[in-house]
Structure 1
Amino acid sequence: MIMTNNRSTLRYFYYAFILVILGFFFGTAYVAVDLLSFYIKYIQLLYGSVTALLLGGFAIFAAVLSLVVATFGCIGIQRLSGQTIVLYSIALIISMFVNTGLTIASFSLENSERSAHLRSMSSTIVLYDELFINDVRNAWDSVQNTYNCCGATGPSDWDIIYYSEKLPQSCCTSNFANCKPSSVYVKFNGCFEPLMEHLESKIHTMAAISLAFTIFHIPGLAIAYFANRLARKNAL
């Protein structure tokens, strides 16, 4: 009777654990896909570094791994199989290390990638008027309209191709013809900072979810420990 009660209680705890894991899975997957979509949208401007793309892919891998491990643990605890529970514990530890790596990578990405992204943005300006590279033009117009900005660090960045004579139309707040540096409608803020702030906010969200997920592996290991003890008693 006591064994049956302990087994039922353990299952209830594990079912609650799985529900939380599902929440983390969908949360991580959503943020990872959002990060990848954002990065791909502006890949023409940020092509100099693919770390954010790798980070998004790594996050999706970590989320899927955790879900697979949780399913595997569910089978072990449901059957009270000692070997399956031990394998589940090892897989859970591996999952915890993967999520720890994701957390560290997310927090360390912010400063290391800024210079590469700035160089990438600045270098694509010369391609803006290239006849067969419409993607670069569209990306610049999109970012300048979205963030109400002009150039990587400011309107003067466009001097390299326009020699202070004009600016892209998306650099002005009004749709009048001929956007010029002397116009009162020019957007004087650069696009690099707002773009990076948006990108980094997504990375920070992923890091926070991953950190919480890493910590939550501890009760999962505790459940596996008690399940293993119960399986041993059941085998006697």
Structure 2
Amino acid sequence: MGSFSRWTAYGAGGRCLRLSYLSTNLLSVMLAGAVFVYGCWMYHNYSEYAELLAPSLYVDVSRIMIVVTLLAIFNAVVSTYGVFKELRCMIYSFSIASIIIFIMLFIGGVMGFVFQYKLRHQIPLDLKMYTSLRELYGNEEWPDVTRAWDSLQTNFRCCGVNGTDDWRIWGQSKWHMHLKNETKPKMPDSCCPSGSEEHCRNSHLTSITNTPIYSETCYKPLKKQLLFVVNTASWLLIVESGVLLIPAFFAAMYARLIKK
């Protein structure tokens, strides 16, 4: 009889399972909140660079982080109500939903790793950047590309693409060729430190000596940062996908002890 009462919702086993569920569910919600915040930050700060990479998986990864973690948090909150009210059907629904969310988060993490592999071995990022700069920057039909380049050069304090495709490449761009000013700017203001735009944009393109201009090119900094950001996102998704299965297991075990 003592053994029977121990393994009921009100016995020692039931109390232990409920406490285990509550603690691991809280951990899962906190981690989901961190993943959500990171996904919002990642989307806000890096989604515009997808115009230089398109098609790009990392933007989809950030969207998964935002949308699916919201579902995970909602699922966890509803399940807590079900546990306290001992609603067995709701608890089982939580466990099943957790498995589905696990799959979606895990797929998001795998997508991040796939993007990293493609960026390292398949995506010709420097060529895509070179083409967008020469052909699309300043084009009224491609305003997102213009914004992406201006944001990239301002935020990373860089100018041009890579190696010999440095600041001088702007003189070969359609943006420069289509300008009708008598004194065409040699480069956009985003290549120049704040406060020195006028001197910088009219500099000669043969040398940067004594010229206020970002001397570092943009290809390597962008690639390095994207790899780091997406790698962090991938591991966050993988870890969160595994963690949310733990409270789902404890909840399902607790539901088996409910006798109504």
Contact 1:24–1:63 at 8 Å: present in 2 too?
A: no
Structure 1: distance between partners of 2:229 and 2:160: 23
More displaced, 170-179 or 220-229? 170-179
Instruction: Give the aligned residue type for 2:155.
Output: T
Return the offset for 1:37. Answer: 0.9
Return the offset for 1:159. Answer: 5.0
TM-score (ref. length: structure 1): 0.80
Contact 1:150–1:171 at 8 Å: present in 2 too?
A: yes
Deviation readout 1:25-44 (Å, 9 max, x if unpaired): 21111111112112344354
For residues 138 and 26 of structure 1, do their structure 2 counterparts lie closer, same or farther at Cα, with a shift above 3 Å needed?
A: same
1:191 alignment counterpart:
218
For residues 228 and 212 of structure 1, do their structure 2 counterparts lie closer, same or farther at Cα, with a shift above 3 Å needed?
A: same
For residues 80 and 88 of structure 1, do their structure 2 counterparts lie closer, same or farther at Cα, with a shift above 3 Å needed?
A: same
1:97 alignment counterpart:
103
2:44 alignment counterpart:
37
1:160 alignment counterpart:
172
Structure 2: distance between partners of 1:129 and 1:219: 52
Q: Counterparts of 1:144-155 in structure 2 under 5 Å? A: 144-153=153-162, 154-155=165-166
Q: Kindly indicate whether residue 11 of structure 2 is the aligned counterpart of residue 12 of structure 1.
A: no
More displaced, 184-193 or 127-136? 127-136
Deviation readout 1:8-62 (Å, 9 max, x if unpaired): 333322221232122122111111111211234435444x224222222122222
* Gapped regions of structure 2 (runs ≥ 5): 178-184
Instruction: Give the aligned residue type for 2:159.
Output: C
Q: Kindly indicate whether residue 74 of structure 2 is the aligned counterpart of residue 68 of structure 1.
A: yes
Structure 1: distance between partners of 2:15 and 2:24: 14
Contact 2:42–2:62 at 8 Å: present in 1 too?
A: yes
Return the offset for 1:150. Answer: 1.8
Structure 2: distance between partners of 1:83 and 1:133: 52
Return the offset for 1:223. Answer: 0.4
Structure 2: distance between partners of 1:212 and 1:100: 9
Return the offset for 1:109. Answer: 1.1
Q: Counterparts of 1:97-176 in structure 2 under 5 Å? A: 97-113=103-119, 115=123, 117-126=125-134, 127-130=136-139, 136-153=145-162, 154-155=165-166, 156-161=168-173, 166-171=186-191, 175=197, 176=199
More displaced, 10-19 or 29-38? 10-19
Contact 2:98–2:244 at 8 Å: present in 1 too?
A: yes
Return the offset for 1:152. Answer: 1.7
Return the offset for 1:187. Answer: 4.1
More helix by share: 1
Structure 1: distance between partners of 2:139 and 2:248: 57
| Displacement over 6 Å in runs of 4+ | 131-134
For residues 168 and 88 of structure 1, do their structure 2 counterparts lie closer, same or farther at Cα, with a shift above 3 Å needed?
A: closer
Structure 1: distance between partners of 2:224 and 2:114: 15
Instruction: Give the aligned residue type for 1:67.
Output: I
Q: Kindly indicate whether residue 78 of structure 2 is the aligned counterpart of residue 78 of structure 1.
A: no
2:28 alignment counterpart:
21
For residues 138 and 219 of structure 1, do their structure 2 counterparts lie closer, same or farther at Cα, with a shift above 3 Å needed?
A: closer
Return the offset for 1:167. Answer: 4.1
Contact 2:119–2:125 at 8 Å: present in 1 too?
A: yes
2:181 alignment counterpart:
none
Structure 2: distance between partners of 1:84 and 1:131: 54
1:220 alignment counterpart:
247
Identity among equivalent positions (%) equals 22
